[in-house]
Structures are given as C-alpha cells and as structure tokens.
Amino acid sequence: MKLNSIRPDTRFKPNSLPFRPESLCLLHFSVKGFNQSPKTFLEMTTLSSISRFLSSSIRLKNHKLSISHFSTVSSAETVYNHLQRNGGNIEKTLASMRLNLDAKCVSQVLHRCYPTQSQMGLRFFIWAGVHSSYRHSYFMFSKACELYRIRQNPSVIFDVLEAYSVEGCSVNMKMFKVVFNMCKEAKLADEALGVLRKMPEFGLRGDNVVYNVVIRLFCDKGDLDMAESLVKEMSMVELYPDLITYMVMIKGLCNVGRLDDACGLFKFMKENGCLPNVVVFSALLDGFCRFGDMERALKLLEEMEKEGGDCSPNVVTYTSVIQYLCDKGRTVEALLVLDRMEARGCLPTRVTVSSLITGFVKEDQVELAYKLVDRVVESGSVTKTDCYSSLVVSLERVRKPEEAEKVFRTMLDSGVKPNSLVCTIMLKKSCLEGRMVDAYCLFDELEKMECLSSIDSDTYSILLVGLCQQRHLVQAAKLARVMLSKGIKLKAPYVDIIAEVLMKSGDEELLEQLTRNGR
DNA sequence: ATAGGGTTAG
C-alpha cells in the first residue's frame, strides 16, 4: 500500500457500540466554550481538553459555516432578507443595495441561500461575478460549484437561464462568462455546449474565449470529434481558432494518442499564420515523450532551442524531457539535459530535481542523487529542504525504509526542515506500524522545528486516534491542545472513533474523570 | 494556457 494513501479505516476499525457519541452528555460543550482563549484552555486538565476538543468538533460538524462566519453573518443576512422580501427581479434588488462585495460576503450569501433558495443563490453569484468592484476568484468558483453540487446537478444552470428568459431579464456576455466558468469548474462539457446554444435566445453568441472553454472541456473529456467540429464551427461564424484553440486541440489530440493529427495541426497553424509558442511546442513534445517517441521529442527540443524567442524551451519543457528520460532509466542523458538547460540560463526547480533524484534512487544510484543535490544547492536553484525531502520520498516509494529513515534523521539532526509531505509520510508510517509513542515524539520534534504548518487534519486525526486507542492519554491530550490552538478540526468519522475508543476502553474511573472535568 | 507531490487564503 502507498504510504500517502493510508486512511484510518484501513487500520482502525470503528467498533460497533450501540450509541452515538453525540448523545453523550459528557462530550457536550458549547460553541461559546470553543471561543475561549488558548491560555484559558492550557490551564485546564489534560483529559478534559480531549473531551472539550471532541465536543467542539461534534458541534461544528453539523454546521455548514465555520466559526469565522458567525461573527459577521449579518451582511449576508441583509442580502438574503432583501432578496426574499422583494422577490421578482433579483438583479434589480441587488443593484439598489449598493453592496460592498468581497469574497467573504459572496461566500456567506451562497451559504445562506443553500439549499432552499439555490436558484436565487446562483443568480446572486452570477450577478456578483459581473459587479464592477469585484471579481470571483477560481477559489470562489470552485466553492460555489462544490456547495451547489453543480457537477451532480447541472440542470440548475438551465433553470437559471430559463428564469432570466421568463422574467425578461437582460443577460449580457459577462454574465454568460460566469456561467461558462462554472461549467468549466464543474467539468461539464455537454452543458457548456448547451449554454452556448442558448446564447442566441438572449441576442448573444460565443466569442473565441467561450469557444475555447467549450473545446477544452470536450478535449479533457476525450471527445476530440466534438472538439474538432466546434473548431470548424468557429470559422463558419467568422471566429478564428487562435493560439489557445490550437494549444488545447494539440494537447487533446496528444492525450488520446493521436500524435500524427497533433503534428498535422501544428503544421497547419504555422501555415495559417498562427505561430506556436513554447506552450504549444511543449504540449507536442510532452505527447512525444508520453507515447514513447523520445527521439522525436529530443529532435523537437533541438528545434525549439534553435528557433529561440517565443519557442525557446523553458523549465517546464526541460523538466518534462528530464522526467521521461528518468522514467525510461536514461538518467545519464537526463543529466546531460540538465547541463544543457543550465548552459542556456534556465535553472532547475524542485520538480526538475525531484525527477532526477527519483530516477537515481530507482536505479540504486543514491550517491549520484547526493552529488546532484550538492550541485543544485550550491547554485542556489533549489533548497536543501526540497532536495532532501525528495530523496526521502523517493526512498520510501522504492521500499527502502531504513535508508529513508536515515536521511530523514540526518535532516532533523542537521536542522534541515523536512517539507510537509515528508512529515506526513513519516508520521503516518509510525502510526501505521502502531508505534504511537514514537509518532508522538516525532510530532513533538517536528512541531518544535516549526515544520508542521501545513499538515492536513487527517494526519493529526490518525495520530490522535492511535494515541487514544493505546491509551496514551497524556500525549493525546497534549496533541488535542495543539490541534485546538491551531484551529484544526477533527472530521466526523474520527470524532466517532475517538469517542467510541474512549468510551469502550475507558474504565469507570476514566469516564468519571472525563465527566467531571468536562464541565 | 504549460509539469509537479498538494504551497497561503480567499
């Protein structure tokens, strides 16, 4: 099993007690308690901190809004109430409100409208997206799609368009672009095409950007025939495929292994006055690499170097060549490519170096990996953290746990901070092997080195579950305190498991203590 | 708009 795919249920089977932890009064705690300062919390006894931690997690998991939403929920509430009261033309109501739009406000309104007023929420989202003082980030698009389950339930998009139509709402191009971006985020190719077909009803038609989005969606889906017919359609409506269109198509053709067609299109674009840039070249080159035509890829790389300018290979181009050479066991040549890129003033990144390190480790040439690390650290292009972290990950992947452990230990002892992936892997490994005290000590050490700023809640939870199961309650309480101070929330399944473990394993005395101190 | 192991927070 891969280390990074460890999930708690593979090891910690929840037992089947006949009660739910939510029903336990000993775990009951208010949200008000959660807001107490860490200092107050530290003063509390260790066992009560576990119970408090659990209870706040239980309370929170039933809320769609996180704590931070509670403080300023009023602005969303105002919008919601306004919209509810006025009914009818949502956009007109919104325009009259002179709202101070920001990401927080948008997010709150979305949450407020879901699920009983989804259509209103979406219309607000579309309206907000064209508001002059505000722009949706990609993050916001992904949040909106996730919350409203657009991918699972795409008909809501058409419901909104229908409502616009019925109400005689004027819909402009910008509003459609918000809708297309939602389709893009939700990976809805057919629906995006459906929206494109609806545009004429509102007196609009797709432009290059819109066509490119739809074509890309079909390419990503592997439906190259539809993508091609849309490209043809573009020329028929006096739109012309541009650099992005060609890039998307070439990438799509490469993805489905139609390399000759990709080459044909590459030639065609040049002949038609659209000069490929480094991204287009790189897409084609990557296709050659992936389908095993390394020689053709190298020839293309040479061509790019000769051509220069917009076609000059960049670190992404070189990295993909190096990566595929390493995959094929051709690390000697890969190193030559590294020389070549550096000679052209193109510095490797951690991705480049990581590919090479993995290649060396797979060929059992760790000493070459060390040599490479010295070289790139010396030149200042990649940090020790990134290099040695890659080395540890690679050693773990090829099942050399002792060597990985050794490098990891050396890192810690010499003050080189392992990155978060390595920390996660090593912590989970100890947990999986049931070495919970070791895991806790490691956690403590990493925490002191300030390496744990971006460890996910999953890792914390596995650690806490294991400590509770083995009844290392002092450590568990300390961990729970750290989690609380960092605002890391336990996810529902872990809450259940930990509560059950404590209940089941707990002798009367422990239960009593928890009950007594939990108030 | 390009690779990658998963870079903030929004």
Q: Is residue A226 part of a domain?
A: no
Distance A394 CA to B5 C1' (A): 11
Provide the pLDDT for residue A496: 74
Asked if A131 and A195 sit in the same domain, the reply is: yes
Asked if A48 and A129 sit in the same domain, the reply is: no
A341 Cβ within 7 A of any nucleic strand B atom: no
The rounded distance, in Å, linking the Cα atoms of A110 and A89 is 18
| Peptide bond preceding A115 in cis form (omega within 30 of 0) | yes
Q: Is residue A184 part of a domain?
A: yes
Distance A244 CA to B1 C1' (A): 7
CB distance A372 to A379 below 8 Å: no
Provide the pLDDT for residue A257: 92
Tally Cβ neighbours within 10 Å of residue A8: 20
pLDDT at A251 exceeding the cut of 70: yes
Q: What angle do CA A331, A336, A338 make, to 5 degrees?
A: 95
Distance A106 CA to B10 C1' (A): 11
A19 Cβ within 7 A of any nucleic strand B atom: no
Distance A420 CA to B7 C1' (A): 10
Asked if A46 and A94 sit in the same domain, the reply is: no
Give chain B positions with protein CB within 7 A. Answer: 1-10
Asked if A153 and A44 sit in the same domain, the reply is: no
The rounded distance, in Å, linking the Cα atoms of A446 and A469 is 23
Q: Is residue A384 part of a domain?
A: no
| Residues A430-466 pLDDT 10s | 999 999 999 999 999 999 999 988 888 889 988 988 9
Asked if A188 and A93 sit in the same domain, the reply is: yes
Q: Is residue A88 part of a domain?
A: yes
| Residues A124-140 pLDDT 10s | 999 999 988 888 999 99
Beta carbons within 8 Å of A398's beta carbon, 6+ residues apart: A361, A362
Residue A458: which domain range?
Answer: 1-64+447-519
Q: Domain boundary at A208, A234, A262, which?
A: A208
Give the pair of three-digit tokens for residue A435. Answer: 């070495």
Which DSSP letter does residue A3 get?
A: G
Asked if A56 and A123 sit in the same domain, the reply is: no
CB distance A249 to A265 below 8 Å: yes
A96 Cβ within 7 A of any nucleic strand B atom: no
- Reported as a pLDDT band with limits 50, 70 and 90, residue A7 is very low
Q: Domain boundary at A208, A227, A248, which?
A: A208
Dihedral class, residue A321 (left if φ above 0, else alpha if ψ from -120 to 50, else beta) = alpha
Crossing angle (nearest 10°) for helices A189-198 and A155-166: 10
Closest residue by C-alpha to C1' distance, nucleotide B6: A421
Tally Cβ neighbours within 10 Å of residue A498: 26
Dihedral class, residue A506 (left if φ above 0, else alpha if ψ from -120 to 50, else beta) = beta
In terms of Cβ atoms closer than 10 Å to its own Cβ (0-12, 13-18, 19+), residue A358 is buried
Q: Is residue A299 part of a domain?
A: no
- Reported as a pLDDT band with limits 50, 70 and 90, residue A495 is confident
Distance A97 CA to B4 C1' (A): 45
Asked if A13 and A47 sit in the same domain, the reply is: yes
A102 Cβ within 7 A of any nucleic strand B atom: yes
Block residue for tokens 């989202």: A125
CB distance A416 to A384 below 8 Å: yes
* Domain total in chain A: 2
pLDDT at A2 exceeding the cut of 60: no
The rounded distance, in Å, linking the Cα atoms of A278 and A294 is 18
pLDDT at A256 exceeding the cut of 60: yes
A111 Cβ within 7 A of any nucleic strand B atom: no
pLDDT at A149 exceeding the cut of 80: yes
Q: Is residue A103 part of a domain?
A: yes
Distance A397 CA to B10 C1' (A): 34
The nt closest to A213 (CA vs C1′) is: B1
Distance A71 CA to B3 C1' (A): 41
Distance A69 CA to B9 C1' (A): 15
- Reported as a pLDDT band with limits 50, 70 and 90, residue A284 is very high
The nt closest to A104 (CA vs C1′) is: B10
Asked if A20 and A96 sit in the same domain, the reply is: no
Provide the pLDDT for residue A74: 65
Asked if A514 and A475 sit in the same domain, the reply is: yes
Closest CA to A253 of A237, A269, A238, A236: A269
Provide the pLDDT for residue A57: 60
Distance A73 CA to B10 C1' (A): 17
A456 Cβ within 7 A of any nucleic strand B atom: yes
Asked if A53 and A79 sit in the same domain, the reply is: no
A312 Cβ within 7 A of any nucleic strand B atom: no
Q: Domain boundary at A180, A208, A236, which?
A: A208
The rounded distance, in Å, linking the Cα atoms of A432 and A451 is 21
CB distance A317 to A344 below 8 Å: no
Asked if A32 and A119 sit in the same domain, the reply is: no
Provide the pLDDT for residue A454: 81
Distances from the Cα of A431 to the Cα of A144, A248, A467, A478, angstroms: 36, 44, 9, 17
A393 Cβ within 7 A of any nucleic strand B atom: yes
A354 Cβ within 7 A of any nucleic strand B atom: yes
Crossing angle (nearest 10°) for helices A118-129 and A173-185: 120
3-state secondary structure A429-469: HHHHCCCHHHHHHHHHHHHHCCCCCCCCHHHHHHHHHHHHH
Asked if A57 and A167 sit in the same domain, the reply is: no
Q: Is residue A219 part of a domain?
A: no
- Reported as a pLDDT band with limits 50, 70 and 90, residue A488 is confident
More reliable by pLDDT, A73 or A172: A172
For strand B, list residues 237-296 of chain A whose Cβ lies within 7 Å of it: 243-244, 247, 251, 277-279, 282-283, 286
Q: Is residue A516 part of a domain?
A: yes
Distance A474 CA to B5 C1' (A): 34
Closest residue by C-alpha to C1' distance, nucleotide B8: A454
- Reported as a pLDDT band with limits 50, 70 and 90, residue A514 is very low
Distance A454 CA to B8 C1' (A): 10
* Candidate from A177-181, A480-484, A489-493 with smallest mean pLDDT: A489-493
Closest residue by C-alpha to C1' distance, nucleotide B4: A351
The rounded distance, in Å, linking the Cα atoms of A101 and A109 is 11
CB contact burial A100-118 (16+ within 10 A = b; e otherwise) = ebeeebbbbbbbbbbeebb
Closest residue by C-alpha to C1' distance, nucleotide B2: A279
Distance A368 CA to B10 C1' (A): 42
Distance A92 CA to B7 C1' (A): 41
A417 Cβ within 7 A of any nucleic strand B atom: no
- Reported as a pLDDT band with limits 50, 70 and 90, residue A482 is confident
